[in-house]
Every structure is written in C-alpha cells, then in structure tokens.
Chain A
C-alpha cells in the first residue's frame, strides 16, 4: 500500500512540475490520436452518410459487419498494418513503419468501424421530413447530407469523441506500428507498458493518471452532449 501512496505522490509531482518527458509523451499522444480521429472523420462520416441514405443489396449485412468490427482487436489491426507497412510488404515503399504516420494509419483503421456505425445510427434518427423538405427546396445530395448531419450534430460529435477515446487508449497499434521510440513514437499507453515492465511505477502512474483524466474529460463532454 505504501508503494502505491508514494508512487501517487511522485506521480502528482511529475505532473505538477510539468516534467518534460511526461509533457512530451502526453502531447504526442494527443496529437497522434487527434490526427487519427480527424482523418477518420473525413472518411467515415461521408461513408456512413452514404450507406445510410442509399438502399442497396446486402445493406443490412454490411451494417451488421460494421457492428461486429466495433470490437476489432487492436493487436489484430497492429499485426495487419505491420505486415502491410513492412519493407517487403505491399506498402513498404512508403517507409512509414515505426513512424507517427504509420500509427495514424493503424488507428484510422481501428476506429473506422465505430465511426461509420455511429454515423449510420445517428443519421437514422433524423426525421425523413428533413430530407424531404431539403429535397423539395432543390438541395443536391451533398447539401441534403450536410443538412441531415447538422440535425444530429451532437450525436456526430459524440461518435468523434468515442473514436478519439479509442485511439488514445489503445496500445496494440501504437506498440506494433510505432515501436515505442523515445521522443518519436512513444505515447501514453506504450510508455505505461514499458515503464511498468521496467519497474518504474511512479512514472507509469503519472502517465496513467493523465490518460484517465483525458478519458474522463472526453466522457464528461460526451455526457453533456447526449444530455442535450
């Protein structure tokens, strides 16, 4: 018990004094996850909206496949992307294995099912009248899409935040694709894993507290949004 208390104390010290390593790792974590969620939003919201608004053969199967992939294991994505980005793999010539760019690619793949799925669900709640009205006013398909997305913007933002949370807290992709290189691809989760394995529990706890605080913050914002 004493170890935990003294560890916590040291952890807070590291946070309050803005220890450069802790700050660096936190900033890198935020920035990689934000980049992932941004790119994922650019792809997934339009794709989700398209799936939702169109009728096609097998649509229900596609949606149920997307729901299944919500729980896509991070290490499986890590392995897949590792094989693809390896120098002798199909995208090896990009040379982005063990770089932040590679991590972003992995995280985009990881959170895509959730973001597409939640987009579909959110847009499904828009009353058909909204679309009909927009259509009757002569809106193009893109304009209709934007109008309906605006209708459910808080649900959309919630899906973005959920994707962000998953990207921030995952360790499989970050470890396997990033390689946990100090000062380059080391993020909160991989640093916690490494420091714990090395027995540096105070630093681990400090990073854990930060990770938890960010998740808490994201959750609070999300609850506010859903409470409307």
Chain B
C-alpha cells in the first residue's frame, strides 16, 4: 500500500466531483408525478419523448408508483403536474387550490383477474358479487382463495375500496379479516406478479394487465362495465399555491396530450404489441366517462398566473 494509490484515488474522486453538476430545474424541464400504469406500460414515456422532441424540452417522471404518492408529491409542489386516476381525490386536489383544473385524457377499465382454475368460481358474475364470493370462500379456505390488494393508496386501491363498499363491506373490516386478504403495498405490476405467484385474485387496470399478461397465468373474470371505468386525468399545479412550478410547460404538455396527435397516439398505443389498444382516448367520449365538457376542452381554459 503506498501513498501513491491514495493520491490517485483522491484525484479520481476530485474528477468525479468536478464532472458532477447539480441539475437544478429550469424553464425547459417538466416534472411529472404519475400512476404506475401509465409508466409501466411505457405510454407516458413515449408521449413525453414525442413532446420533448417537438418542443426541445426535458421531461422527467420522478414519481410513478401510484396516485396516492403522486398527489402527496403534488401537494408539496415537488412536480409541475400530475396524471392520475382517482376522481374524488382529483377534485379535492383542485378544490384545495393545489391544481388548476382536471383535464380528461384517456380511459379504460379495471379488471378483476385471478388464476385460470378460478378457485372461487366467480366467472360470469358482476364485480361486487364476485368480491363477496372471494371474501366468503377466502375466509373459509385461505389456502385456496386469496386476494392481493395494491394496499398503497393508489387509484386502483381507491377503486378497490369503493368496490368493497358497494359490495356492502367496511374496508377496514376487509383489510383485517384474515390471511386470504394480502395487502401488498406495491405498484400494479409487482402486485400482479405477487398474485400470480400466490394464485390469487386481484383488481388491475386493463393496461398494466395487458402489458404483464405474457408473464402471468392470470385471466380476467370481470372486465368492463360502468362500475369498472378507469379515467386518467392530468392536472397542472397551481402556481399561485406553489410559486416556482413550471406551469406554462405543464399546460403545454397537457394541451399536447389532448391534441389530435396526442389522443391518436394514446388510442393506438399497444395495438402493435398486444393486439389491442390498452387505453382509449377521452376525446369524443367525454360524457360517457363522466367528465364535464370543459374538462375535455381543447385547448385548456385555465391559465397560469402567479
């Protein structure tokens, strides 16, 4: 061991530190917090890439594991916009002044998926009936019938909670009712992989399920129907509440997403890879998916003012 090596090591570290430039955000950087489905399917990254090439900007997606964490990042002003799917919390976010307005982008449906053998026998039932049966059989034989929940306050988890409620249960009662109910605390893809490993049922959004289908032995039992609707919404952060957020670029990106180009890209995405679209464009289906006309307006009505 010589002093020489230490010197060289220090030199190397100095070079590393000098090369190292802190990348503070600037006007041409857009930060987005989103849900796992839009990220894990690759859709948002593709849209972001198209946008950044067209406008010569940088788009970063630091939060991409669920609506719950995306909203909390938004409330702290850590990002410039959200793309999420949980109407109740979206409305509250805007009402509390954190966001400008809801803009409806895309939709698809939630699926109730489970092992091919269908151990609870829920094929052909509506979702609330199916959940009831899964709970009943799971409590009797938790080795055979299980349900894996996101358990992470994501949009899908919110949906699951409201479905349990429609089925006539109190969620806290479900969450503590035994081994059949597995609270994964994970993003959608990881939850599906866990459900697959454990031969369990799960609630999934259509797009993530399609993207993971080839890795899973799970099949959908309940798909579609108005009670399984899943609407994705973009919200730019309100610069009055969060000075310094890049509102202009956020609004620009949202307008890009609702433009002809953006909507067509969303509607076509996945056809090549999965043989069917995995998202549907909001354009033209505004009232079907429960959005107000102004939430589908092109371009945006809200403006950025500090």
Complex contacts, A122 vs chain B, CB 8 Å: none
The interface-forming segment of B6-14, B151-159, B168-176 is: B6-14
| A37 B62 Cβ-Cβ under 8 A | no
Tell me, rounded to whole Å, the shortest Cβ–Cβ distance linking A226 to chain B.
9
Docked complex: B1-24 residues within 8 A CB-CB of A: 1, 3, 5-6, 9-10, 12-14, 16-17, 19-20, 22-24
Choose from B19, B62, B76 the contact partner of A181 (Cβ within 8 Å).
B62
Which residues of chain A are within 8 angstroms of B146 by Cβ–Cβ distance?
none
Whether a CB of chain A sits under 8 angstroms from the CB of B212 is: yes
- Decide yes or no whether B276 CB sits under 8 A from chain A: no
Chain A residues within 8 Å of B, Cβ to Cβ: 30-32, 34-35, 37-39, 41, 86-89, 92, 94-101, 104, 150, 153-154, 156-157, 160, 178-182, 184-185, 197-199, 224-225, 228
Which of B9, B17, B23 has a CB less than 8 Å from the CB of A157? B9
Q: Could you list 16 examples of A-B contacts with CB < 8 Å?
A: A31-B16, A38-B13, A39-B17, A86-B77, A87-B77, A98-B62, A100-B20, A100-B22, A100-B23, A101-B24, A153-B3, A180-B64, A182-B61, A197-B193, A198-B40, A224-B1
Which listed segment binds A: B182-190, B224-232, B264-272?
B182-190
Question: In the complex the two chains form, is B23's CB within 8 Å of A101's CB?
Answer: yes
Report if A94-B24 is in contact (Cβ < 8 Å); known contacts: A153-B1, A153-B6: yes
Cβ–Cβ contact A38 & B1, under 8 A: no
* Residues of chain A contacted by B186 (CB below 8 angstroms): 197
> B212 — nearest CB in chain A belongs to which residue?
A199
Cβ–Cβ contact A96 & B242, under 8 A: no
Which chain A residue lies CB-closest to B45? A182
Interface check B301, CB cutoff 8 A: no
- Say what secondary structure dominates the interface of chain A: helix
Does any Cβ of A come within 8 Å of B91's Cβ?
no
Query: For the complex, is B116 an interface residue (Cβ under 8 Å from A)?
Result: no
Q: Are A160's CB and B62's CB within 8 A? A: no
Chain B residues within 8 Å of A184, by CB: 23, 60
B contact residues, total (Cβ < 8 Å): 38
Q: Is B119 an interface residue (CB 8 A)?
A: no
Residues of A near B13 (CB, < 8 A) are 34-35, 37-38, 41
Is A95 within 8 A of B77, CB to CB? no
- Chain A residues whose C-beta falls within 8 Å of the C-beta of B17 in the assembled complex: 34-35, 38-39
Verify B20–A31 contact, CB threshold 8 A.
yes
Which of A35, A97, A185, A199 is close to B20, meaning CB atoms less than 8 Å apart? Answer: A35
Q: Given the complex of chains A and B, what is the CA–CA distance between A114 and B6 in angstroms?
A: 19
Contact of B76 among A88, A104, A179, A198 (CB under 8 A): A88
B1 contacts A98, C-beta separation under 8 Å: no
Provide the residues of chain A in CB contact with B16, threshold 8 Å. Answer: 30-31, 34-35, 38
Smallest distance from the beta carbon of A193 to chain B beta carbons, Å? 10
Evaluate contact between A87 and B76: CB separation under 8 angstroms: yes
In the assembly, what is the distance between CA of A34 and CA of B244, in Å? 31
Across the A-B interface, the 5 shortest Cβ-Cβ residue pairs: A179-B62, A101-B22, A87-B77, A38-B13, A34-B16
Roughly how many angstroms separate A117 CA and B24 CA in the complex, as a whole number?
32
Q: What's the Cα separation between A100 and B186 when bound, in Å?
A: 25
Distance to closest chain A CB from B292 (angstroms): 30
Contacts of A224 in B (CB 8 A): 1
B 226-247 contacts with A by CB, 8 A: 242, 244-245
